[in-house]
């Protein structure tokens, strides 16, 4: 075999054949391609010793064996080398050359014709070769159990079925690929989705923070990007505390909090979410700790929450748990804060026992923290400037943040006929 003299290699070496460009129906056989790879011929008994020292120089490709039989000599093996690093014997580093010498292996590099197939290309290489040149091929997705949830751009849509199939082929455990059809603007916040490829079945099972959730992804809300937020809130509660989850979904706040030996009241308007919430409470063995409701958030606040608060806040001071109210419906939750105004009409409890609200919101404002504070305060008719904290949850889109404002509801808001405390600032209206 001749030693390779070339010092530069084709940067397209590991690109699929050029005639796959524009393919809309996946034809895996069209990805066959033969490439010339540098190889080192060695005696078969030194292969394993040598491989430890040739990690830098050896070829790394999905599904390609690094050591193959030598077609010309049964007693020898060929070690595939990285064509971008290895050109001639001069490409070996000192340490590598010294090991070769010790094992009596000639550093001469030769060429081998390697046949690459669809299996040997990475998903990004496949999509870069298929989609129009110069256009973004980003193929990121959210994983929800067995489902890859894509958010394709317009120029990718003609290739949507192919992209879906490539995601399934290249990601073990993914058996279905779906594309978001439009933004989540329906009441139940579930995605309108189209199955691009694979299983039609949207019944799935996910693990988040050590809990298991089962649900039909086409009918309920689930976002794998909220796991840190779910555990951040969970950590704020201590055993014995009480959680009211106004927009509970299938239970990612309610279930971990209940597991901490807290009492939980969890609500969702979507009958499907309510069904899976009940199911997941049983699945995670917290059904005795969670009371589940299927109400509009406002009715939940003015019905069950009001009743429970009346009891909880009248307990003797020593027995009073902390009460947290989670409102994760970022597009609308702030509007629901008005339900707290004059909700109770007894004598107010001591201020440290007042419920703590965690209310989510989106903001496109240049100062999202101030924007959320101002909007929440305006609904309650007070200033939250000095008595709230705002946590940045995640960046949802360019210039769109999701935030969580946390504050204790002032007695003057929660109780009827309250004169304002000297420390509480009210907004003029
Ligand atoms: C953004 S999701 C949050 C779900 C869950 N808390 C989580 O973190 O994954 C909002 C939930 O509020 C529910 N929802 C929407 N409008 C509602 C309303 N008016 N009253 C009660 N629940 C509502 C939706 O069905 C959805 O499950």
- Kindly tell me the sign of the dihedral angle through the C-alpha atoms of 160, 164, 166, 167: positive
Task: Supply the angle between the helices 123-130 and 160-170 in degrees, to the nearest 10.
Answer: 160
pLDDT at 419 over 70: no
**Is any atom of ligand 1 closer than 6 Å to the C-beta of 329?**
yes
Contact in structure between 412 and 344 (CB atoms under 8 Å): no
Distance 255 CA to ligand 1 centre (A): 15
Ligand 1 binding pocket mutation candidate from 221, 359, 404 (most atoms within 8 A of CB) = 221
User: For the segment 383-418, what is each residue's pLDDT rounded down to a tens digit?
Assistant: 999 999 999 999 998 999 999 999 999 999 999 976
User: For the segment 10-64, what is each residue's pLDDT rounded down to a tens digit?
Assistant: 668 889 999 999 999 999 999 999 999 999 999 999 999 999 999 999 999 889 9
Tokens of 132: 């129009």
CA distance 97 to 111: 19
Label residue 4 by pLDDT band (50, 70, 90): very low
- Flag the least confident range among 3-7, 18-22, 267-271: 3-7
pLDDT in the model for residue 185: 62
Mean pLDDT, range 166-179, rounded to an integer: 97
Can you tell me which atom of ligand 1 is nearest the CA of 330? Answer: 1
**Is any atom of ligand 1 closer than 6 Å to the C-beta of 33?**
no
Instruction: Characterize the bridge pairing of strands 147-150 and 176-180.
Output: parallel
CA distance 176 to 217: 12
List Cβ neighbours of 102 (8 Å cut-off, separation of 6 or more): none
pLDDT at 299 over 70: yes
Q: Whose CA is nearest to atom 11 of ligand 1?
A: 247
pLDDT in the model for residue 374: 98
Distance 328 CA to ligand 1 centre (A): 7
Mean pLDDT, range 106-134, rounded to an integer: 94
pLDDT in the model for residue 1: 47
Can you tell me which atom of ligand 1 is nearest the CA of 336? Answer: 19
Mean pLDDT, range 163-173, rounded to an integer: 97
> Phi, psi at residue 391, to the nearest 5°?
-110, 130
pLDDT at 184 over 80: no
Report which of residues 314 and 289 the model is more confident about: 289
Put the strands of the sheet holding 141-144 in their side by side order. 141-144, 147-150, 176-180, 193-198
Can you tell me which atom of ligand 1 is nearest the CA of 268? Answer: 22
């Amino acid at each position: 075999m001749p030693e390779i003299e070339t010092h530069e290699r084709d940067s397209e070496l590991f690109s699929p054949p050029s005639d796959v460009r524009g393919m809309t129906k996946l034809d895996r056989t069209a990805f066959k391609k033969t490439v010339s790879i540098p190889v080192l011929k060695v005696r078969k008994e030194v292969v394993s010793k040598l491989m430890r020292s040739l990690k830098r120089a050896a070829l790394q490709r999905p599904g390609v064996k690094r050591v193959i039989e030598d077609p010309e000599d049964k007693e020898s093996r060929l070690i595939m080398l990285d064509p971008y690093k290895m050109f001639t014997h001069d490409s070996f580093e000192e340490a590598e050359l010294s090991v070769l010498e010790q094992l009596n292996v000639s550093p001469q590099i030769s060429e081998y014709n390697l046949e690459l197939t669809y299996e040997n290309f990475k998903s990004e290489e496949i999509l870069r070769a298929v989609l129009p040149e110069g256009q973004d091929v980003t193929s990121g997705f959210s994983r929800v159990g067995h489902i890859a949830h894509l958010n394709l751009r317009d120029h990718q849509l003609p290739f949507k079925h192919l992209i879906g199939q490539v995601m399934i082929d290249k990601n073990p455990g993914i058996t279905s690929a779906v594309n978001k059809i439009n933004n989540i603007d329906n009441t139940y916040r579930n995605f309108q989705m189209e199955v691009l490829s694979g299983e039609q079945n949207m019944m799935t099972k996910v693990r988040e923070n050590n809990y298991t959730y089962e649900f039909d992804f086409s009918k309920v809300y689930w976002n794998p990007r909220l796991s840190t937020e779910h555990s951040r809130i969970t950590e704020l509660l201590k055993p014995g505390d009480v959680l009211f989850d106004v927009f509970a979904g299938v239970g990612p706040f309610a279930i971990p909090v209940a597991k901490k030996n807290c009492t939980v009241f969890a609500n969702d308007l979507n009958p499907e979410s309510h069904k899976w919430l009940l199911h997941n409470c049983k699945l995670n063995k917290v059904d005795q700790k969670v009371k589940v409701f299927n109400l509009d958030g406002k009715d939940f606040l003015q019905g069950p929450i009001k009743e429970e608060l009346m009891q909880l806040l009248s307990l003797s001071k020593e027995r009073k748990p902390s009460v947290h109210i989670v409102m994760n419906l970022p597009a609308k939750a702030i509007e629901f804060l008005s339900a707290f105004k004059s909700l109770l009409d007894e004598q107010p409890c001591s201020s440290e026992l007042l419920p703590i609200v965690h209310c989510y919101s989106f903001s496109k404002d240049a100062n999202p923290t101030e924007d959320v504070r101002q909007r929440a305060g305006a609904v309650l008719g007070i200033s939250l400037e000095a008595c709230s904290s705002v946590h940045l949850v995640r960046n949802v889109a360019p210039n769109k943040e999701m935030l969580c404002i946390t504050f204790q509801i002032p007695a003057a808001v929660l109780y009827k006929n309250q004169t304002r405390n000297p420390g509480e600032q009210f907004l003029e209206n």
